[in-house]
Chain A
Amino acid sequence: MSRIRLQGLTRRFGAVTAVDDMGLDIADGEFLVLLGPSGCGKSTLLRMIAGLLPPTEGRLWLGDTDITHLPPQRRDVAMVFQSYALYPHLSVASNIGFPLRTRKRPRAEIRAKVAEVAATLDLTGLLDRKPRELSGGQRQRVALGRALVRDPGAFLMDEPLSNLDAKLRAGTRAEIAELHRRLRTTTVYVTHDQVEAMTMATRIALLNEGRLEQLGTPSEVYDAPASVFAATFLGSPAMNVVDATVRSVDGVLRAEAEGLLLSLGIEADIPDRPVRLGVRPEHLTLTPAGKQGIRAVVTAVENLGSEEVAQCRAGHTAVSVRGPRPLGVTSGEAVTLAARPDRLHLFDQNSGRRLAWQAASVPEPV
């Protein structure tokens, strides 16, 4: 049993609140990604779970035991550090075997277990080297091996791939995901890389300034962002967000702003309501000028290889459009951008939280 539960977990450093009233329930076998911008408190939260940092307030459970006040050596978790923290004076074999050595296991058992882990991680030929004689990718695998060697209740990983180059990162990402599929060990994985989050997570916990902004599967977080922050943090280029007013015309709701008119496809009659309207760049389509949509002028076209991004200006706001290459527009061209009603996201103008449409209570047929 290695379900991890956090309740009202808070950590303050003087006046700074690094983690604010965090509540999370991480199921056994889950791969939870803590995602957020730099300084949002991801590492602080992970170090509290590891026991390296005492929380200012709140409680923490691993399985059924309250581990809030347990020192790190008595928590059944393994951690991979961003710096890897491989012991520089020990060989690769001793590094991997270290957790077993602290548990006073017999030498023969340690040697066998280390050999087994080294084989799965393709480190067999490197066991006698010192960490300084390894490449970045090899160090990363040794750090992983040190965590794997003792079947921990949970893995904690703090940006383990951030020191690798793009190609190695993609490969190691797949390896870690595969490892998790095989072992099914609860994993809490910190990253600020949205690709890692989207591809590896069973659930993403999106953090902003120490608070939980949204918790959900990658598709939930991407398709139904809970706030303007979540909407603009995930996706590249970021979701376009413009101020608009929802108005009911002829019994149908539509979003309006200067040079913007998009139907929301909802039949209702409500008073005008100011909102923030969001639409992802890949959900905007170019239509001939003069039709209903967002009127804009193309300012630049970026080539991404497989796709193109057209940077446009609509009134005072910048809007980007992403689509298969070639998009067929050139800089300076006037265009109209359209989007399907179900691709539009509405957010409250003050709180920034997502607005979901709820039809007036019609008695449901039982």
Chain B
Amino acid sequence: MVSGTFVEVAAPARNREAGTAGTAPASRESGWSRIRRLAPPYLYLVPAVVLLVVWTYQPLAQTFVLSTYSWNLVPSTPMVDVGLGNYERLLGTPELGRAVWRTVVVILGMLPFTVVIPVAVALLTRRVRGRAQGVYRALVFAPMLVAPVAGAAVWQWLLDPSAGAVNRVLGTDVNWLNTASTAQWSIIVITGWHVVGFAVLVVTAGLAGINPDYAAAAQVDGASRSQVTRWVTLPLLSPTLAFLALMTVLLSAQWTFPLIDTLTQGGPVSSTTNLYYLLWEYGFRSHDAGLAAAAGVLFFLGFIVVAALLTRLAARLSHHDD
């Protein structure tokens, strides 16, 4: 009889077999070659960073500094340090509150042009096929290509109280741009006409980014066309809509600026003076650089808060489509 014993089969050795140098110490690298290895990414960034610093961060810092001085923009007059005096003066004026309210009106008035109309147009042009689709989109986008000042000149002519086409079509004789109750709305509509094409483009891109399988699945699941739009397409589009809303809130007042400056100069009786125009008036009409800088700083901080809230909201709305 032969006797024996069971021997456990050894597990494969770990490092040795794979032949890697995992345990061997890495060879030392000289300081110079280390710099040469790590430097390129930073070198590529340098031009952009320099431009940002020169054109954005430095003026920003200078604005902060300027907001604590009293100065009339004339190089030969000295700048007087007034501390927080400009801020006190600014918060004490009744104009500020009214300008904030008018800015809110502009933003609310712009939302139909940047969100509602673009969604409707993009959903409708999606159903048009072939070359006609391109033509429609080009037509909607065209106003964006017209320079604001040129557009303003044409609109001034269209809104002319005696011979303007708008009054003739509507059968009215309103002095649109020189009446306090209509001037603001005229500015909003003209600005909306200007940016609506861009917003349509953004919404169209957002729609194109939604996997068509979702709509197909919803249809097979029994959803009608309007249910697909309400329950699937619009929720999936919400990150795009949040982006457009954010743009509207932050930029509406800026978009209106060239139109206000050419058409109404903030009037009549300040009815079109929003935050940006007010700031500009302080700086370049009243030549009160310190007050304008203080206003700039306050708006800057205010919009940062609003933007932070909106971006957080947008992040919560976005669904990772995978």
Contacts and interface: CB of A to CB of B under 8 A. Distances in A.
A321 B260 CA distance: 86
A73 interface: yes
Given A132-B320, A132-B322, A87 B220 contact: no
Interface stretch (A96-104, A217-225, A274-282, A335-343): A96-104
A102 B320 contact: no
Q: Which of A73, A81, A156 has the most CB of B within 10 A?
A: A73
Q: Which 10 A-B pairs have the closest CB atoms?
A: A85-B217, A85-B213, A102-B222, A99-B221, A88-B319, A72-B219, A89-B319, A102-B223, A89-B235, A79-B220
Interface residues of A, number: 27
23 contacts: A47-B216, A50-B216, A51-B219, A51-B220, A52-B219, A72-B216, A72-B220, A73-B219, A78-B221, A85-B213, A88-B214, A88-B236, A88-B319, A88-B322, A89-B238, A98-B221, A98-B231, A102-B222, A102-B227, A103-B222, A132-B319, A146-B221, A156-B220
Contacts, number: 71
B133 interface: no
A72 B321 CA distance: 24
Given A81-B216, A102-B221, 6 more contacts: A47-B216, A78-B220, A81-B217, A87-B232, A101-B231, A132-B322
Interface in A57-86: 71-73, 75, 77-79, 81, 83, 85
Q: Which of A83, A98, A103 has the most CB of B within 10 A?
A: A98
Nearest to B236: A89
Q: Which of A87, A89, A130 has the most CB of B within 10 A?
A: A89
Nearest to B317: A89
A174 B216 CA distance: 27
Interface of A: 47, 50-52, 71-73, 75, 77-79, 81, 83, 85, 87-89, 98-99, 101-103, 130, 132, 146, 150, 156
B236 A73 contact: no
B211 interface: yes
Contacts of A89: 235-236, 238, 319
Contacts of B179: none
Interface of B: 211, 213-214, 216-224, 227, 231-232, 235-236, 238, 319-322
B314 to A, nearest CB: 14
Contacts of B231: 87, 98, 101
Contacts of B322: 88, 132
A72 B221 CA distance: 8
A122 B52 CA distance: 56
Contact of B222 (A47, A85, A99): A99
Nearest to A72: B219
Contacts of A103: 222
Contacts of A87: 214, 217-218, 231-232
Nearest to B217: A85
Contact of A83 (B213, B218, B224, B235): B213
A75 B216 CA distance: 13
B241 to A, nearest CB: 13
A107 to B, nearest CB: 15
